[in-house]
Amino acid sequence: MAGSYTALRYATAALAFLGTTWAAPTLYASDLEIARNKSNHGISDLNKRAVAFDYNGEKVRGVNLGGWFVLEPWITPSIFDEWSTSNTVVDEYTYTKTLGKSEALSRLSNHWNTWITQDDFNAIAQAGLNHVRIPIGYWAVAPVDGDPYVQGQLDVLDNAINWARGAGLKVMLDLHGAPGSQNGFDNSGRYGSVEWQQGDTVSQTLTALQNLANRYKGDTDVVTAIELLNEPLGSSLDLAGVQDFYNKGYQTVKSASSNFAVAFHDAFQDFSTYWTGFGSGDSDLMIDTHQYQIFSPEEVGRSPSDHLSYACGLGPKLAGTNKWIVVGEWTGAQTDCAKWLNGLGKGARYDGSFPDSSYTGTCDGKYTGTVGALSSDDKNNIRAYIEAQLDAYEQHTGWFFWTWKTESAPEWHMKDLIAGGLFPQPLNSRQHPGQCG
């Protein structure tokens, strides 16, 4: 989840559609031998000749497993607490660089093996969900010489695929960070400047996709989709180059297995117009759009009813899109109050503690806290907002909530929102019916 969206909606320019041509598949050498024998799964080839989820006829109802294989300080602030005053460690890059590989691997191995477990997958399925979206960084599958990142995530990801299989869940694997950073957000692995598209970063990203697709091409009964890259910041990138990368990424993933659906993020362009002609004639192509209403002063200044109206207005736009489209990230939050959501050490627009913002309301109970301790007004507003978004986003392919769990951010903690009665159970239950007409 991009916690550093400062002025993003104002920086994104309105650009005309940039056409590109499809190139022949490009092969990228891999230093890793990652093909695995899946015969022990007992899945015959006859059952694996198409995408193993009906994205035309069924709705995606999913959740992101954020903060697991790609650290985000706001999701797990305890991991970063020892640097809370120095601000010298703000992302996974500086975390691993500061600790060194041995200590970083020790700490992260513990995190990978405890943050999400088989019990979580079972609970996700029991809540009526059918998908999980799992963010992974390039450094897990195609490390670049000189980077401080550590590896070992893939053994746990292998377990996760089996946990999903056992729970009856489908998986979207999401390449969440690219070399050089595609957006400068801490959730890309490295906070700061956007240097993706410089040097060899694009070819290195394609290598990461090739390795990821090859590793799980025998698991397409579970891994039904691969997302080419999370949140490339279109306003800071060459959009023609982004499209060219998407073209090559599509071919790379499909060359590994035709049974993968291929998802691509809208790069913060208008999903209903900008991408209409992209990938025409290519099968199993899915747009991913992320819908938050909290990362600008105007958005956090909206009233609860204004938040609902905006969410409901997305429904017809989604329904009119000519490709599969998921809202791959969204939240119950109507504020940016969660501790370090905007970056480690940074405040919130909602209470005026973020630079160049003004006071809208108090962050009491939302900076840190629990779902149970939220005010009755907050609980009612969150429940109504979640219901409106469910009604809107299911007007096309479906959704992935961000995120399954956090340490202390109640507006974002799906597991606790369910337990607290703020996320509908069953998913079609409504306390506020008909909000979207």
**Spatial CA neighbour of 368 closest among 332, 311, 335, 409:** 409
Q: Name 171's bridge partners.
A: 132, 223
For the chain, the farthest-separated pair of C-alpha atoms sits apart, in whole angstroms, at: 60
CA dist 276 → 8, 189, 321, 403 (Å): 22, 30, 7, 29
How open is the CA angle 417-74-359, to the nearest 5 degrees? 85
Distances (CA, A) of 93 to 112, 117, 273: 16, 24, 36
Q: Token pair for residue 142?
A: 């195609």
* CB within 8 Å of 386: residues ≥ 6 apart: 332, 417, 422, 423, 424
Question: By the 8 A CB rule, do 330 and 389 touch?
Answer: yes
Q: Catalytic site residue 231?
A: yes
Residues in Cβ contact with 156 at an 8 Å cutoff, skipping those fewer than 6 apart: 69, 112, 113
3-state secondary structure of 3: coil
Q: Residues 92, 299, 329, 387: which is the catalytic one?
A: 329
* 72 catalytic residue (yes or no): no
Query: Among 227, 231, 299, 394, which one carries the catalytic annotation?
Result: 231
Q: How far is CA 344 from CA 9, 158, 295, 340, in A?
A: 21, 31, 15, 5
Task: Just list the catalytic residues.
Answer: 231, 329
